[in-house]
Amino acid sequence: MRSTARIRSVALGISLLAIAGSPPARAGGPHAQGPIDEIKPKRYTRNVAIILYPGAELLDFAGPTEVLRTAGWSSAHDGKAGFSVYTVGPDAESITSLRLMEIVPQYVYGECPAPDVIVIPGGQAGQLVRDEKYMTWLAEALEASELDLVVGTGVIVPATLGMLDGVRVTTHPWTVEGIRQAASSAEVVEDERVVEAPGLITTSGMSSSIDGALLVTARLFGAQVTSEVARYLQHPWDMDAAIEAGCDWLNPQLDADGRRRQRIGALIEAEKWEEAVSACEELVQTSPADAEARYLLGVAQQGAGDHVAAIKSYGRAAQSPRYRMRAMYNLACLYAGAGELDKSIAHLRQAVASGMNDKEWMRSDSDLAALREDSRFEALLDSIGDPRERRID
């Protein structure tokens, strides 16, 4: 992690998201009834169906799967993931991609959870179009879904279903003319990696599938969380351009209080410490018994260099079982940095007792460097045993 990541990630446990906006409306398409905010499902978690078929292009579905799985936990709120991603196939048998990789779908169409988002990859899409029962199910699923991503030659599916009348779309450069013939009333554009219409995002295929999936994430959960996902995936993404295009900055699925907390998280992520302290103080005044507010205030104060105030805020946050581990850990780091090793060890013991068990994290954390020569530190780590898969962020 980055040098200040302990302050940010140990401190957060919330996703960073946020402002408002909606894509420009265009006529036609499978969701011509209006912008996506008019058809949002009531539940927070969106079901995402990755459509598989024999000959589906690997990158066309693997790219979006990676993006949307990552976005699921990046957009998590109140214990609920933003996306629940699963694969759907024509039957329970494996499908082959690139003539070398076999993938077993998790569901057979018609038996999967009702999808809110559908991803249709390109490849040998004619195989899918010729499966009448699969296409019948897809027609119904596309009509009922909220937002869909169609990659490359996969656009032949909505074209065949008559869903592209008056819709602006793109496809793989090698198949532009073929799609124009299949959907003569659609506007099929060349030289654009991603094209958006109401409820439908099309991409030119291959690596552009990643860009399309990032746009899906930005539309549903905001530009800030999408920026997190892009950084994790090491993929270029322009947050400012997304906001200019009408994507929200903060998570549009949250209420005003949720967006307020997301804004605080974004300020902390950006290391705008004075603004973060001010925003946290306002939140504490509104909710003085809120442990999360006290904890975030401690993080902001620590980042701003006001360690005395941060110790007080962490102490209040530690009264909550939910924030005790993180608050005690940050207190241990603060005391270690101040050379108060007895207090640092005492608080680190309480962090461990509350569930902190990532020994490698503690050994490598520069904020605990003052403890490395202290025999009590190594003895404490040895007492943890085999670490479970748990992260403090």
Residue ranges of domains in the chain:
18-244, 256-382
User: Which residue in this structure is represented by tokens 């038996």?
Assistant: 111
Task: Give residue 26's pLDDT.
Answer: 27
CA distance linking residue 142 with residue 161, whole number of Å: 10
CA distance linking residue 214 with residue 71, whole number of Å: 9
**Which residues on adjacent β-strands are paired with residue 123?**
56
CA distance linking residue 211 with residue 96, whole number of Å: 24
Residues 6+ apart with CB under 8 A from 315: 327, 331
123 contacts 142 by C-beta, under 8 angstroms: no
Tokens standing for 181? Answer: 């013939």
- 378 CB neighbour count, 10 Å cutoff: 14
Check for a shared fold between 18-244 and 256-382.
no
- The CATH class that applies to domain 256-382 reads mainly alpha
Tens digit of each residue's pLDDT (9 = 90 or more) over 47-80: 999 999 999 999 999 999 999 999 999 999 888 9
Instruction: Give the CATH superfamily of 18-244.
Output: Class I glutamine amidotransferase (GATase) domain (3.40.50.880)
Task: Give residue 385's pLDDT.
Answer: 75
Amino acid at 281: E
User: Which residue in this structure is represented by tokens 């997301």?
Assistant: 262
Amino acid at 200: L
Q: What does pTM read for this prediction?
A: 0.76
Task: Give residue 386's pLDDT.
Answer: 63
Residue 148 has pLDDT above 70, yes or no: yes
